[in-house]
Amino acid sequence: MRVLITGGGGFVGARLARTMLAKGTLAGRRIEQVVLADQVAPPADLAADRRVESRVGKLLGQCQALRDEAFDGVFHLASAVSGECESDFDLGLASNLDSTRALLDALRYRATQGAAPTRVVFSSSIAVFGPDPAYPFPPLVGDDTLPTPQTSYGTQKLICEHLVSDYTRKGFIDGRAARLVTVTVRPGRPNGAASSFFSGIIREPLAGEEAVLPVSPDVAHPVASPQTMVDGLIAVYEASREAFVGRSAITLPGLNVTVQQMLDALEKVAGPKVRARVRFERDERIAGIVANWPRGVTTARATALGLKAETTFEDIIRKYIADCAATPAALRGMS
């Protein structure tokens, strides 16, 4: 089978590709080719895999050509991130909304030519939830919580969820939307996401660098390790339509945790010297965005698919350290 991963050169996309290629199959079928479409080239190990094809460029510019290709499965991860969408409205519309519709229309064209509907997993976000004066914001959001996004990013993700659902209803695709919680700990440098600090306050101190905490330590939020999110995306793809239940989006599992609990876990795993490298410096822009995000999730539908979150944040930190074991320089600051 042939699989397309948009955003395949990014961190989650590359990890998804590695996981699938290592397994060798998807939904019981042998993977023959994985096409990674992104604005950046994939990591060297993926580029060297004979089963991988890289396509570098903006997704919106690639979608017309995709009309003439047959893909058995698509993971649509490409997206402008939350902070970018809030500061550049047009970028968010083009990268998230316009590109998604163009991709879905390319797949729709294939279906109208007699091809079987392509199975599509769209990576949405719990940013679709937010406080609205007309609807009380529950302490924990679930699959049945009314989405009322309070950011451009969340609004764009919610619109795309409905597009995926409607294209599925019409028989153009077999689509499933999965709402991701914040993925941490991400390697590399900070990005433009408002949630970037959730990784930075762990990653930088472990590497011997100072990190800035832009929100209050009592901020609560659901998080998950990169591999937990990748496993969730694959499980959503492999689920039967009956097991997925309906066409609405599913929320993937996350560990509901406060920032203070994250810092306590960092000290427990790496020691007080490492914990001391985090300093508080409030950023009103980031704090304002995060204040409109869920403080926690419940995930009944994901649980029914057999998916589970980590049980402690120490587990997530240790997974990150294990991931970095091959490059110990990344953790040179640990005491």
Return the active site residues.
153
How far is CA 334 from each of CA 54, 135, 201, 260, 267, rounded to the nearest angstrom? 36, 45, 14, 20, 10
Whether cis (ω within 30° of 0) applies to the bond prior to 40 is no
Pair 197, 215: CB distance under 8 Å: yes
Pair 95, 62: CB distance under 8 Å: no
Task: Give the span between the Cα atoms of 276 and 280, in whole angstroms.
Answer: 11
Tokens of 180: 């991701």
Q: Which residues of 121-158 are buried (b: 16+ CB within 10 A; e: fewer)?
A: bbbbbbbbbbeeeeeebeeebebebebbbbbbbbbbbb
How far is CA 223 from each of CA 15, 126, 226, 294, rounded to the nearest angstrom? 17, 11, 10, 11
User: Radius of gyration of the chain from Cα atoms?
Assistant: 19
- Please report how many Cα atoms fall inside a 13 Å half-sphere around the Cα of residue 22, on the Cβ side: 9
Q: Could you give the residue ranges of the DSSP H alpha helices within the chain?
A: 11-23, 44-47, 59-66, 82-87, 89-92, 99-112, 152-169, 197-206, 226-238, 241-244, 259-270, 272-275, 284-290, 300-304, 313-323
- In this structure, which amino acid lies at residue 33? Q
